[in-house]
Amino acid sequence: DAKTTQPNSMESNEEEPVHLPCNHSTISGTDYIHWYRQLPSQGPEYVIHGLTSNVNNRMASLAIAEDRKSSTLILHRATLRDAAVYYCILRDSSNFGNEKLTFGTGTRLTIIP
């Protein structure tokens, strides 16, 4: 499986935008980029995913570099409830049956009031 690299931790002030980076230099053409987050004492929850184009949903935006070797999860206006561990995960869409998610250690995001 292609690997991802994320900073161990980041801090951001409340109500400011947050940019969470992810490097995936060995990404293949069929890998989707997924982001999940895990709030304290909860299971992970899906945030967003994309293949080549930038994506927006109600939770966040995903900016994907043109060469797809990196991506950035953008929280437009962080709240205290966004404090969590954020995981960047690659999923191969061509390998039917390779359904599992391979988590790294993620980025622990701390929001400063």
Partner 1 sequence: DTGVSQDPRHKITKRGQNVTFRCDPISEHNRLYWYRQTLGQGPEFLTYFQNEAQLEKSRLLSDRFSAERPKGSFSTLEIQRTEQGDSAMYLCASSDPLGTDTQYFGPGTRLTVL
- Told to check if 29 binds partner 1 by CB under 8 A, we report no
- Told to check if 40 binds partner 1 by CB under 8 A, we report no
Q: How far apart (Å, rounded) are the C-alpha atoms in residues 31 and 94?
A: 8
- Told to check if 43 binds partner 1 by CB under 8 A, we report yes
- Told to check if 13 binds partner 1 by CB under 8 A, we report no
Q: Please report how close the Cβ of residue 45 comes to partner 1 at its closest, in angstroms.
A: 7
Among 44, 72, 74, 92, the residue binding partner 1 under the rule CB under 8 A is 44
- Told to check if 7 binds partner 1 by CB under 8 A, we report no
Q: Please give the structure tokens belonging to residue 29.
A: 């053409």
Q: Please give the structure tokens belonging to residue 78.
A: 């962080």
Place of tokens 């109500």: 15
CA atoms within 13 A on the CB side of 109: 29
